[in-house]
Amino acid sequence: MPFTGRHSGIWGNRVTNGNLLPINRTLFSDEHEIFRQTVRRFMRDEVIPNLETWNRQGHPGREVWRAAGRQGLLCVTTPQEYGGGGVDRKFSAILIEEQQRANAAGPGFVMHSEIVAGYLTRFGTEEQKRKWLPAMAVGDVIGSLAMTEPRGGSDLRAIATRANRVGDEYVINGAKTFITNGFITDLIVVAAKTDKSDGSSGLSLILVEADRVGLKKSQPLEKVGQKAQDAAELFFDDVKVPKSNLLGDEGKGMHYLMAELAWERLMIAIRAVAGCEIALETTVDYTKSRVAFGQRLMDFQNTKFKLAECKTKTQIARVYIDHCIELAVEGALDPEAAAMAKWWCTELQNRLLDECVQLHGGYGYMLEYPVARAWADARAQMIYGGTNEIMKEIISRSF
């Protein structure tokens, strides 16, 4: 497809076609590819037409969540007995890839379906699972995870939010920030200290309904990128919840968080590689159609060499990420492999997009061109899920 000019900051329905990056991806079955077509149509019909509105208002509309639920695109790995799809994580990878290829930073389906629903599935009581998961699967309830605090950053051991037991209730006080889905959330998994111990021994996970008295949400935070994805601050002022809202066992919150972090970090890497692929392919089209000094940009040696470097690095990253996806499906993905994937691929995405912006010239800095939006959106990938400096620390522990 030739480059046609303005794209309103959206890649459109463009996907990698196998010509630019001719790797034969062997991890997906015919069933997976049929699902990919369903996701692609959903992005085309329900997400892309609304992105500009969501970018302006700082959050997606609730209707897209219910639309996703009707098409079976929420909680796909949640067991069928709780309303989910009951499929493997390759389906989750497809959802992430197709949302990235639509250049859609929001809605926060991954946080909702893979992280919050994942905690409930793995650690929740039967009552909790039957109460919340079916509603999440149809999009009536939107989930979020509240870990990060204004003074804590990536250091979960510094969490100051407290949940004190008073009779049959927990009374929660504290503040959380940068909470994905925080503005529109209905159910929050809150990481809080349930005793006065230092470090991680007293950390617990507690389910908090967003309509609880004493819970306040900020307006969506004004971010540099990812404007279609809401992130908010949450404030807990004597918020009372029944002790039955405890997720898993008291004091084991850090263990539960660590159990899911490898998959969370791999999902960030999956998104990063998909972003590299579509940015590279679109930039190749642009350089073939754009003329400067009497010839196509693609005809300059510098352009060809830059794109050759980008293609090679993206191809190598793709092979590693597909390997990690297979490990995740088998339950064999370890923290070190996930940390390497998250660090390398998000760094690659940011460097590659910088090259792509440069090759677009002045147009690369205009938000009406998709590469500019992608460039701004990608920067946060090196921060959330644990900063890339933390990823290097995890990797270095193997020495």
Measured at the alpha carbon of residue 130, what is the angle toward residues 192 and 93, in degrees to the nearest 5?
75
Distances (CA, A) of 288 to 200, 278, 291, 372: 54, 16, 8, 19
Cα gap 363→120, rounded to integer Å:
45
SS3 146: strand
Q: Please list the residues that pair with 188 across neighbouring strands.
A: 144, 208
- Residue 61's contacts (CB-CB under 8 Å, 6 or more residues apart) are 50, 53, 54
Cα gap 275→225, rounded to integer Å:
14
- For residue 336, the one-letter residue type is E
SS3 122: helix
C-beta of residue 176 within 8 angstroms of C-beta of residue 160: no
Cα gap 104→102, rounded to integer Å:
5
Name the catalytic one among 250, 264, 277, 355: 264
SS3 187: strand
Provide the H-helix boundaries in the chain. 30-42, 51-57, 62-70, 89-101, 109-110, 117-123, 126-137, 253-289, 301-330, 335-360, 370-378, 388-396
Cα gap 49→10, rounded to integer Å:
10
C-beta of residue 142 within 8 angstroms of C-beta of residue 188: no
C-beta of residue 117 within 8 angstroms of C-beta of residue 98: no
Cα gap 13→28, rounded to integer Å:
21
Q: Is 281 a catalytic residue?
A: no
DSSP assigned state of 186: S
Which residues are tagged catalytic? 264
